Amino acid sequence: MNDLSRRQFLKNLSLGLGAAALPISFAQAAVIRPRVIVIGGGFAGATAAKYLRLWSNNTVDVILIEPNAIYYSPILSNLVLNGQRQVAQLGFKYDTLAQKYGVQVVRSTAIALNSASRTVKLANGQTLGYERLILAPGVQFKAIPGLNSNKVLHAWKSGNQVQQLRQQLQAMPTGGSFVMSIPKAPYRCPPGPYERACVVADYLKRNQPGSKVIVLDGNPDITVEKDTFNHAFTNTYAGIVQYVPNTILQAVDSNKKVAITSFGDYQASVLNVIPPHQAGGIVRKNGLANSSTGDWANVNPLSYESTAAQGIHIIGDSQGTGQPKAGHIANAEAKVCADAVLRLLSGAQPFQSPVTNSACYSPISADTASWLTAAFAYDPASQSMQLIPASFGASSGASSSNYRKMFEWANSLFSDTFA
Ligand SMILES: Cc1cc2nc3c(=O)[nH]c(=O)nc-3n(C[C@H](O)[C@H](O)[C@H](O)COP(=O)(O)OP(=O)(O)OC[C@H]3O[C@@H](n4cnc5c(N)ncnc54)[C@H](O)[C@@H]3O)c2cc1C
């Protein structure tokens, strides 16, 4: 179907349908189907693609653009560092999305958008038209002078980087220093860096006594679960973890593994730099990162439609609603967005009272974990997502029961996204 006939179909559809409740039935779908393109197959994009197909009763064509055959989950990836998980256990293919739900998966990278002609250009030379476009490219890291991410790993996107950091840790000399740097918030998974400090300390405590973890935090204090991480740093890992707040990483000597900071230089045996984050390149290069800092995409939280371009929706870590940058809530945003896109395609308005929720489990050792959760509701007065105060909760410290529940929670999120 060409772009014109799809548009005409949608026009006809909008004349025929009012504020229909989901699931929407597209009467003429057997003949002509609207097309939604989703860019990025992480927690946000894969969920959106799946639920667009499910909730439209397969009457909307969904194309998922993703360069990688396997998505490696950052969630649980810190457990690779202390040997509790293998990277391969965190990999998900797109076969189920394709075979069970009929998502058309195209292995390529989106390199340019044209919001006027509603087309996406891919690295493989294809140009595809769409009625609605969903961008879910995650984050991109900002440059730091001297930082070579092949030598000084971030391991903040999963897969090879995490595997290599595990190898660097195993090769670390006894009595050495694992120096890690945390960027200023917002970054993906607020407790994640402190969790990493704990599992690395756990590994060193058991395997390399006398070694240290030095945590250089660009933030003035531990950003979340302060009591839990403070207890871990000063009790469980007393004498191993040294926490240094308010430390801005200014440059890196990637060959010598030196972190050059506002507080002086830190020589590392293993240096792990998590650079500051911004929205994925496809968002920024197309003028959609219009937050006040220029890092994130402002969207209408009812539909996740960009405030800078009609017909383009942005979900997951790239969006700038102020909700946490995390996989669980990316999955929730994707469902709000998929629902809104289907309503908009039928000429209806998005649901006016969306609620999203977030959960992070943090391994603290090889058999204990903590958790943090919060829900957000749309506030019509400020037209933004606001924390529901009563929903906010955190575990009182780490426990082995939390550790077991962490896998149940993660498996259910993985299934809801990829299976
Ligand atoms: C150590 C760690 C622990 C974490 N723990 C938790 C947790 O407990 N709970 C939680 O909720 N979250 C957690 N997170 C955060 C979570 O992993 C991220 O917030 C989540 O992955 C964001 O999902 P996303 O879909 O927005 O981005 P991503 O998962 O990064 O997916 C983006 C996808 O887009 C693709 N892409 C990018 N650009 C293009 C393009 N131009 N064309 C096509 N494809 C493109 C990429 O290849 C990638 O597959 C953790 C993160 C880390 C690092």
Question: How far away, in angstroms, is 238 Cα from ligand 1 center?
Answer: 32
Q: What is the mean pLDDT of residues 371-398?
A: 97
Residue 22 has pLDDT above 70, yes or no: no
Do residues 311 and 199 both lie within one domain?
no
When pLDDT is averaged across residues 136-153 and rounded to a whole number, the result is: 98
What spacing in Å lies between the alpha carbon of 82 and ligand 1's midpoint?
21
Distance 204 CA to ligand 1 centre (A): 27
226-247 pLDDT, tens digit per residue, is: 999 999 999 999 999 999 999 9
Which ligand 1 atom is nearest residue 122's CA?
42
Average pLDDT, the chain: 93
Identify the residue whose C-alpha is closest to ligand 1 atom 21. Answer: 327
Measured from the Cβ of residue 244, the count of other Cβ atoms closer than 10 Å reads 14
91 part of a folded domain: no
Residues 271 and 333 in one domain: no
Ligand 1 mean position, distance from CA 209 (Å) = 33
> pLDDT band for position 360 (50/70/90)?
very high
| pLDDT score, position 14 | 39
Specify the pLDDT at position 198: 98
* 32: confidence class by pLDDT, cuts 50, 70, 90: confident
Distance between Cα 191 and ligand 1 center (Å): 15
Query: In CATH, what number is assigned to the domain containing residue 8?
Result: 3.50.50.60
> Of the candidates 350, 367, 397, which is a domain's last residue?
350
Structural element, H or E, at residue 134: strand 132-135
Indicate whether 284 belongs to any domain: yes
Domain boundary among 322, 350, 378: 350
Residues 220 and 341 in one domain: no
Ligand 1: centre distance to CA 74 (Å) = 7
Percent of the chain with pLDDT over 70: 93
Pick from 20, 15, 28, 29: nearest CA to 62: 29
CA 376, CA 388: separation in Å to the nearest integer?
A: 5
Indicate whether 233 and 286 sit together in one domain.
no
Which whole number is the average pLDDT over 312-321? 98
Residue nearest to atom 39 of ligand 1 (CA): 137
Q: Tell me, using a 6 A CB cutoff, whether residue 40 lines ligand 1.
A: yes
Residue 29 pLDDT level (bands cut at 50, 70, 90): very low
Per-residue pLDDT, 393? 94
Mean pLDDT value across residues 355-384: 97
Residue 5 has pLDDT above 90, yes or no: no
Residues 159, 239, single domain; the answer is yes
Is the pLDDT reported for residue 329 higher than 50? yes
| Ligand 1 atom closest to 325 (CA) | 19
Q: Is the CB of 45 under 6 A from ligand 1?
A: yes
Q: 184 lies in which domain range?
A: 143-275+359-418
* pLDDT at site 31: 53
For atom 37 of ligand 1, the residue with the nearest CA is 137
* Ligand 1 binding pocket includes 313 (Cβ within 6 Å): no
Give Cα separations from 158 to 40, 49, 135, 339 (angstroms): 15, 21, 20, 29
Which of 29-43, 102-116, 317-331 is least confident? Answer: 29-43
Residues 312 and 398 in one domain: no
Would you say the C-alpha torsion 29, 35, 36, 40 has a positive or negative sign? Answer: positive
pLDDT tens-digit map of 188-229: 999 999 999 999 999 999 999 999 999 999 999 999 999 999
In a domain, 207, yes or no: yes
Strand partners, 63: 37, 104
User: Closest residue (by CA) to atom 4 of ligand 1?
Assistant: 75
In this predicted structure, the answer to whether residue 25 has a pLDDT above a threshold of 80 is: no
Indicate whether this complex's ipTM tops 0.85: yes
Q: What's residue 262's pLDDT? A: 87
Q: Is there a domain that residue 83 lies in?
A: no
306 and 173 within one domain: no
Residue 102 lies in a domain: no
Ligand 1 proximity of 156 Cβ (cutoff 6 Å): yes
283-288: average pLDDT: 98
Domain boundary among 311, 331, 350: 350
Average the pLDDT over 342-346 and give the result. 97
Report if residue 390 sits inside a domain: yes
* Angle, CA of 282, 92 and 188, to the nearest 5°: 50
Mean per-residue pLDDT, 252-258? 98
Q: How many domains does the chain have?
A: 2
